[in-house]
Amino acid sequence: MSDATDLLGTPLTDDERALLASYDGLRALLRTDLAPCAAAGVRAALAHLGVVVTDLGLRYDHLLDDGV
Amino acid sequence: MADQPFWNPKTETLPREQLRELQLAKLRRQVAWARSRSPHYRRTLRDVDPDRLRSWDDLDRLPFLTREEWMAGQETHPPFGELPVVGPEAAIRVHTTSGTSGRMPLRALDGRKDWSWAAEMWCYALWGAGVRPHDVGYVAFGYGSFIGFWGLHGGLEKLGALAVPGGAQTTASRVQQIVDFGATVVASTPTYALRLAQEAESLGVDLPGSAVHTLILSGEPAGSIPETKALIERAWGAKAFDTAGMTEVSTIVMFEPANQPGGCHVIEDHFIEQVVDPSTGLEVGYGERGERVCTSFGRSTTPLIRYRTADLVVKVPGATAGNGRTFDLYEGGIIGRVDDMKLVRGTNVYPGAIEAIVRGHAGIEEFQVRLEHLDGRDEVILLVEPHPALPEDGWSALERALATDLADAHEGLRFLLRRAETGSLPRFELKAKRLTDLRAEQRAAAGVPELSV
């Protein structure tokens, strides 16, 4: 797997690349000093997006260390 | 989007070879996660190198996990045992098994992503059964700590349907709410779907004339017993779809698709399901009956690897369903439990087979099976509660027909039929318990030695 392929080594579509960028962006946000309302919302969003990237076979991560 | 038949077209139609590759890729990560974080798996997977799990046969290198091990961990390390990779501080929910078996309930934690995933698995089933955002889903369930239909509720919300929580209601109130809210989808156990229909009839509510077009069933094997399913579909004037899961994974593992092929697809991009001979633990082939062994990729807090479910299933290739999915199919859903076969005077008796025969006869409200040791021999007693509208002379004909069908299906074994008074047999909202085996205590009381088989 690389940033350009899914777990099966298939090249990503444009939509999949955009989804992964959003996913990585949300994870990066959690490493910043967000207000509680923002951090909780980002975690909630990341929970759903984490499932999406797993569903599509793009990534398979456990996010407990991110509080998700 | 609403025309799309698959919730996840990418994986539901993935060629089998690629599906296996995807499963193995996830398995390697799940094993690595479990052995590095969970006290239980640190011990049991100590000698397993995740990177060497490269083929299906490599699954055999992973030890089984049993319910007994999970419960033993809960006893020695209360309240959650040694399987979880985190404590309750990292979780957002706790759920339990139903406790209907009389055993101590199993407790399980879920994190944020875990809970989104649990709802997601229900979305595969809901969408696959034809539920869409414009639907109104009524959840006929108590909403306690038992996990039950909590995930389905989340799934309805996730796909954009209106979820109506039917907790803390009488059965009559639920029937009324189903009508008042214009529910188009109702979720319940198969037994409770029948109970709701009986209540509607007594209240004069015309369920077949209501807006309900789909029933999502779970919690009992009866959802795939054709006779029970047909009875439910007639009573509701709606299509009924079976699903099955367990608290151990937090959600469902399989679902019946819209074309009702007589079984349930395994959600194989999120689970590895093996079918093994219960006595040897060796995997059996397509078409052979065996015990489900489940590996889940969903729950981060509590990895489940090669879990012996004790559910009996027959796996067949997904292509036999004829709907374009490549996910394997469990023919007839869950067909029983490893330990629910009873031996009566040399004949095997299965609760599911009895239910199929009983539900094939009109005019029966409820039934119970009792295995008793009477006058020196084992007997099967079938208590039958006829429909109140059954005419007085109808009972004799029903009794004769039932006795004949039961004997024919059980190598001539004669069942003793007894008529029960209206409303005298137990009704169930969750998992029904319709078989009681009193033989051991009766034999002991009579001083008869226990049988060795």
Render pLDDT for B315-333 as a digit per residue (tens, 0 to 9): 999 999 999 999 999 999 9
Distance from the Cα of A10 to chain B's closest Cα (Å) equals 11
Ramachandran angles phi, psi of B290, nearest 5°: -165, -175
**Confidence at residue B304, expressed as pLDDT on a 0 to 100 scale:** 97
B287: CB partners within 8 A, 6+ apart? B314, B315, B316
**Confidence at residue B64, expressed as pLDDT on a 0 to 100 scale:** 98
Q: In chain B, which residues have their Cβ closer than 8 Å to the Cβ of A48?
A: 116
How many domains, chain A?
A: 1
| 3-class secondary-structure state, position A28 | helix
In a domain, A8, yes or no: no
Q: In chain B, which residues have their Cβ closer than 8 Å to the Cβ of A44?
A: 112
**Confidence at residue B83, expressed as pLDDT on a 0 to 100 scale:** 97
Task: Read off the tokens for B123.
Answer: 């979305």
Count of A–B CB contacts within 8 Å?
62
Distance of CA B292 to the CA centre of its chain: 12
Distance from the Cα of B13 to chain A's closest Cα (Å) equals 12
Q: What is the pLDDT of residues B42-51, one digit of tens each?
A: 999 999 999 9
Q: In chain B, which residues have their Cβ closer than 8 Å to the Cβ of A60?
A: 25-26, 29, 297
Please indicate if any CB of chain B lies within 8 Å of the CB of A43.
yes
Q: In chain A, which residues have their Cβ closer than 8 Å to the Cβ of B269?
A: 55, 57
Nearest to B405 by CA among B370, B372, B358, B345: B358
The mean per-residue pLDDT over the stretch B365-383 comes to 93
Query: Three-state secondary structure along chain B?
Result: CCCCCCCCHHHHCCCHHHHHHHHHHHHHHHHHHHHHHCHHHHHHCCCCCHHHCCCHHHHHHCCCECHHHHHHHHHHCCCCCCCCCCCHHHCCEEEECCCCCCCCCCEEEECHHHHHHHHHHHHHHHHHCCCCCCCEEEECCCCCCECCCHHHHHHHHHHCCEEEECCCCCHHHHHHHHHHCCCCEEEECHHHHHHHHHHHHHHCCCHHHCCCCEEEECCCHHHHCHHHHHHHHHHHCCEEEEEEEECCCCEEEEECCCCCCCEEEECCCCEEEEEECCCCCCECCCCCEEEEEEEECCCCCCCEEEEEEEEEEEEECHHHHCCCCCCCEEECCCCEECCCCEEECCEEECHHHHHHHHHCCCCEEEEEEEEEEECCEEEEEEEEEECCCCCCCHHHHHHHHHHHHHHHHCCCCCEEEEECCCCCCCCCCCCCCCEEECHHHHHHHCCCCCCCC
With 50 as the cut, is the pLDDT of residue B265 above it?
yes
- Name the average pLDDT for chain B: 94
In a domain, A6, yes or no: no
Instruction: Enumerate the β-bridge partners of residue B386.
Output: B364
Q: What is the pLDDT of residues B26-78, one digit of tens each?
A: 999 999 999 999 999 999 999 999 999 999 999 999 999 999 999 999 999 99
Residue range B1-337, CATH number? 3.40.50.12780
With 80 as the cut, is the pLDDT of residue B80 above it?
yes
**Confidence at residue B450, expressed as pLDDT on a 0 to 100 scale:** 64
Element (H, E) at A16: helix A14-29
Nearest to A55 by CA among B298, B206, B398, B85: B298
CB-based contact B219:B430 (threshold 8 Å): yes
| Residue B391: how many other CB atoms lie within 10 Å | 9
Q: What is the pLDDT of residues B219-229, one digit of tens each?
A: 988 888 999 99
Rounded CA-CA distance B201/B176 in Å is 12
Please indicate if any CB of chain B lies within 8 Å of the CB of A19.
no
**Confidence at residue B221, expressed as pLDDT on a 0 to 100 scale:** 83
- Structural domain of residue A51, as residue ranges? 14-66
As a dihedral over the C-alpha atoms of residue B255, residue B258, residue B262, residue B268, rounded to 10 degrees, the angle is -30
In a domain, A2, yes or no: no
With 50 as the cut, is the pLDDT of residue B280 above it?
yes
Distance of CA B344 to the CA centre of its chain: 26
Q: What share of chain B in percent tops pLDDT 70?
A: 98
Cβ neighbourhood burial of B157 (10 Å; 0-12, 13-18, 19+): middle
**Domain boundaries in chain B?**
1-337, 342-446
Q: What share of chain B in percent tops pLDDT 90?
A: 84
Distance from the Cα of A65 to chain B's closest Cα (Å) equals 9
Task: Read off the tokens for B289.
Answer: 């009956």
Distance from the Cα of A47 to chain B's closest Cα (Å) equals 4
CB-based contact B129:B7 (threshold 8 Å): no
* Most confident segment among B2-11, B30-39, B337-346, B347-356: B30-39
Distance of CA A63 to the CA centre of its chain: 9
**Confidence at residue B451, expressed as pLDDT on a 0 to 100 scale:** 57
B410: CB partners within 8 A, 6+ apart? B347, B349, B353
Tell me how far apart the 2 most distant CA atoms of chain B are, in Å: 70
**Confidence at residue B100, expressed as pLDDT on a 0 to 100 scale:** 66
Task: Read off the tokens for B66.
Answer: 């049993």
Q: In chain B, which residues have their Cβ closer than 8 Å to the Cβ of A7?
A: 22, 25-26
CB-based contact B333:B264 (threshold 8 Å): yes
**Confidence at residue B452, expressed as pLDDT on a 0 to 100 scale:** 47
In this prediction the ipTM stands at 0.96
CA closest to B18 among chain A residues = A8
The mean per-residue pLDDT over the stretch A18-34 comes to 96
Q: What is the pLDDT of residues B89-139, one digit of tens each?
A: 999 999 998 776 667 889 999 999 999 999 999 999 999 999 999 999 999
**Confidence at residue B281, expressed as pLDDT on a 0 to 100 scale:** 96
* Identity at B446, one-letter amino acid code: A
| CATH fold of the domain at B342-446 | GMP Synthetase; Chain A, domain 3 (3.30.300)
Ramachandran angles phi, psi of A24, nearest 5°: -65, -35
Ramachandran angles phi, psi of B273, nearest 5°: -115, 120
Nearest to A60 by CA among B103, B354, B210, B300: B300
Task: Read off the tokens for B308.
Answer: 């012996």
* Identity at B150, one-letter amino acid code: W
Please indicate if any CB of chain B lies within 8 Å of the CB of A30.
no
In a domain, A7, yes or no: no
CA closest to A43 among chain B residues = B112
With 50 as the cut, is the pLDDT of residue B453 above it?
no
Please indicate if any CB of chain B lies within 8 Å of the CB of A51.
yes
